[in-house]
Amino acid sequence: MSASIVITENNAGKYFRLMRLDASASITAFECRIGEYTDYLKEEALRAQVDHVAITWLLLEETSGEIAAYMSLITDAVKLSTAEKELHRLDYPFKTIPAIKIGKLAVCEAFRQRYRGLGRLMIYQAAQIATDNVNDYCAARFLTVDADIEHDPGVLAFYEKTGFVPNTELSGKHRKTLSMRLDLYA
């Protein structure tokens, strides 16, 4: 087996392109480690998009046109403690701060073996969408995620390596996910 290609935001365009999900997308071959995430793409993502609940973005391999990864983005608000607001220099009287949330993020197993860094690339793409597009129409300070520690205990370390920190206002409770945030303007 040949070595994996490391994908970064600098070389991603050579191998991949991002496309918004539409009815013509070929999603049948997509399979990831977590069946629930595979099922979401195949059974729910398009309906959620039509109903204005989530927008799903597909990462397509340039040579094959196959889906290497996907993410669904939604709007969010994150509740910050006083200390967390001070950390981000957010001296505002309201309890929540606007955010864009990665509702789902999955990498196809076949592509996980060929390429490294696809999850990190999707986070970069989500941040680009939030800062380049969303802010033309509304504000979002953070990129948030509910890290799925039930299905993948290693996901917490992955998100921390990409700059996310746990939200203390939503931690400490027995949860299947851990709420995390990334300051888009730090």
Report all structural domains of the chain as residue ranges with CATH numbers, in order of start.
Answer: 5-183 (3.40.630.30)
pLDDT at 136: 80
Percent of the chain residues past pLDDT 70, beyond the cut: 96
* Beta strands 67-79; 55-61: pairing state: antiparallel
How many other CB atoms are there within 10 angstroms of residue 71's CB atom?
24
Cβ atoms of 15 and 62 within 8 Å: the answer is yes
C-alpha dihedral over 133, 20, 145, 105, to 10 degrees?
-150
Mean pLDDT of the residues in the chain: 93
- pLDDT over 60 (residue 180): yes
pLDDT at 128: 95
Confidence of residue 174 (pLDDT cuts 50, 70, 90): low
